[in-house]
Structure 1
Amino acid sequence: MEDIMARKQNDDLLIEDELAAAFLNDDSVSDDQTSVSPIQSSGDDTAWGEAEDDFPGQLAVDVYETEEQLIVKARTAGVNKEDLDVSISDGILTISGTLSSGDDSHATNWHIQECYWGEFSRTLALPVAVKEDEVAAILKDGVLSITFSKVKQEQAKKITIQ
């Protein structure tokens, strides 16, 4: 039983580490992922491009509910609303987009490149039933807020046994 509890705690810590960054693309996130050090020498540009193409950034989200609503928030600083795509189907929410660094083609020698630029995506199953046609999405101050009206669950009816 102690082994199960220790494994559960380790899994919880891994999830917390994964959600600590807005866009996950960091060496310290998981030993399973192939990643490249953010500091690049001027002679090796293939490994960086391959890692970027193979592992798109993942958007970190907060999901919580109130009495009447389910709210999903995501930090999307630097992303224009025209570059965001939000969709829902059968309780599955998908947020995707592109984060552009602008024109840095004139850069000849990177010293540090820690910011994630490029495509990102996040798909998650919503934890409660929502009215998919009653939703509002607002992008303000770099935070995307998606608010759903929850489907009211009827209380269980007591059945009289005769």
Structure 2
Amino acid sequence: MELPKEARDAIKKTYRAMDENGDGRVSVAEVRRASKRIGIEFSMDQIKQMMGELDDNGDGYINYPEFERMITEFIHEDTEEVNAARKIFQSMDVDGDGKVTIPEIVSSLNVSKAEAKELLEEADTNKDGKMSFEEFLNVYRGHTG
């Protein structure tokens, strides 16, 4: 999957920020410091495990091609998930207005009105009585409220 130039540039910028000493490879220590800067605390064992999965050439570091591959795969997986969720949402959005209502949930999922109301209340974070695709996607991914 070919990424747009803006995405490739952002990946390069992120990699350069992680590669603190500019040697063209990211070490365990650099990954740990980068994760702390964004507020994520990984143990050394967790970082070593992640790096082991990314380090294709076995040198103990993450080079740019390894980093770019990981990010590209993540973006591709995310895109597939969003596309699958969109198909489900569209099948529920009977009138095609971009919002799912209680009657649409009842008819598309074959559930009771009470069950549909409960599902909608879980997803409807802006409390407009309808479920947008973004709200549905959050529930689909397991994030609510």
Q: Same fold (TM over 0.5)?
A: no
TM-score, normalised to structure 2's length?
A: 0.24
TM-score, normalised to structure 1's length?
A: 0.22
Larger helix share, 1 or 2: 2
